[in-house]
Amino acid sequence: MRRVAEVIVVEGKYDKNTLSQVVEASIVTLEGFAAFHDREKLSFLRQLAEKRGLIVLTDSDGAGFVLRNFLKGALPPGQVKHAYIPDISGKERRKHAPSKERKLGVEGMRPEILLDALRRAGATFLDDSPENVPDGEPITMADFVECGLSGALDSAERRRALLKRLALPEKLGTHALLEALNLLYGRERFYEVVRV
């Protein structure tokens, strides 16, 4: 499985599931058009773009291009790459009927097509050498407990304060916060940030 340094942005959970079987990468979902009204999600994507770089991978239908164009206007262009899948007629296995435009989306693409789309977008593929791991050791729930972000009486309050200080979406739950911090910081940097 190929490892990708950038964070990959997809439309929904089925796209994320398909892609996670092809590459080892941090994958964030837009939850469809909900991204249009979610300022916190956009702020989070901007932070990810600045720290890690983003690759936008949406379906090749009209809705996919509406989302892609929205992100083009909302995110800094120098920090975002765009991966495009080809127009392939068909229907995803989980669906009863084909999409309105009768095109396969990201979830219906074969692995080699997804890899090729990422390669053409300029994805940074990492080998397995330790110096190429972008963020070092991952942050764990044990780290959260040690820092009082989980398991203490005031853990929820501490998490809210941390979310505010880092300008992260206030609706992030404990596990989503852990995922976000792993996308943005390594373990060493996490301890620096938490102890400020």
Beta-carbon contacts of residue 192 (< 8 Å; ≥ 6 apart): none
Question: How does pLDDT run across 57-67, given as a tens digit for each residue?
Answer: 999 888 999 99
CA 66 → CA 20, 70, 71, 75, 147, distances in Å? 24, 6, 9, 14, 41
CA 105 → CA 2, 20, 146, distances in Å? 21, 15, 42
Q: Name which of 82, 114, 105 is nearest 6 in CA terms.
A: 82
Phi, psi of 80 (to 5 degrees): -125, 130
Judge whether 124 and 5 are in contact, CB under 8 Å: yes
Question: How does pLDDT run across 88-116, given as a tens digit for each residue?
Answer: 888 888 887 777 888 899 999 999 999 99
Q: What is the pLDDT of residue 128?
A: 46
Judge whether 121 and 55 are in contact, CB under 8 Å: yes
Averaged pLDDT for residues 30-49: 91
Q: What is the pLDDT of residue 97?
A: 79
* Joined tokens for residue 86: 């080809």
Q: Report d(CA 33, CA 30) in Å as an integer.
A: 7
Averaged pLDDT for residues 32-56: 92
Prediction pTM value: 0.78
Q: Judge whether residue 120 has pLDDT over 60.
A: yes
Q: Domain segments of the chain: what residues?
A: 2-126, 135-194
Amino acid, single-letter form, for residue 167? A
Amino acid, single-letter form, for residue 98? P
Residue whose token pair is 């009204």: 37
- Please, which residues bridge with residue 103 across strands? 89
Q: Which CATH number fits domain 2-126: 3.40.1360.10, 3.40.50.10880, 3.40.50.880, 2.40.30.20?
A: 3.40.1360.10
